[in-house]
Amino acid sequence: MSYLYNQIVLFGDSITQFSHNTDNKGWGAALQNLYVRKLDVLNRGFSGYNTENAKKLLLHILPKKNNSIKSPKIYLFTIFFGANDAAISPSNQYVPLVKYKENLRQMIKIIKDSDSPYYSPDTRILLIAPPPLFEKDWEKFQEREGKILPRKLETTAKYAQTCVDLANELNIPVLNAWKLFMDKSTKTLTENNHSLSDFFVDGLHLSNLGNEVSKVFSKSFYVRVSY
């Protein structure tokens, strides 16, 4: 009989999807390496997705609690959305702030509500608030791609804070990527003459330096799931 490793599931948008890119020293790949032979780290990142898409997709990712087929336990489930929700209306990625918060709440409820078909009492949830972006680089990237998906730093900040507020309200662990990057960029700018731009390949997705910063993600996970 094959041995079933318990799992860490990384659920999010393109920032999660690209986290296993070893060319950019992705934080997901680093997490996989950290838990090799201990836990399987599954990447369930979906480029372009917001919380409205995610809450529907979640039902196809989670095992049902009455599933007769033996399956690995999900030890930790991360929910990392907000970068696309914070797109400026009328973008089809835009989700109003109130709805964003409610969508996050519903996803948590799907996992933690005992009446849910997907109830998993042993699964730990970690919310991750969206990081900042560098507007000028993102605008240039969009122009080259012939797309119009505007983002504003101050808008994304509101979504990050809403994610943190919900986590505190529900007493769920949260990793504030916004604060992590803003604090780190200020320090790095002072010490190494870097700017916030250096943390991203296109103003939104993480560069090598950005993934170096996000290795704190792995340390946060380690605290949550060490055994």
227 sits in which H/E element: none
205 is catalytic: yes
Q: Which of 40, 194, 197, 202 is catalytic?
A: 202
Give Cα separations from 40 to 24, 43, 121, 164, 217 (angstroms). Answer: 21, 10, 19, 27, 16
14 is catalytic: yes
Q: Which of 20, 85, 120, 205 is catalytic?
A: 205
Q: Is the dihedral of CA 65, 71, 77, 82 positive or negative?
A: negative
91 is catalytic: no
The Cα 144–Cα 197 span in angstroms is 17
The Cα 86–Cα 84 span in angstroms is 5
Helix axes 177-192, 153-170, angle to 10 degrees: 130
Cis amide linkage into residue 90, ω under 30° from 0: yes
**Positions marked catalytic:** 14, 202, 205
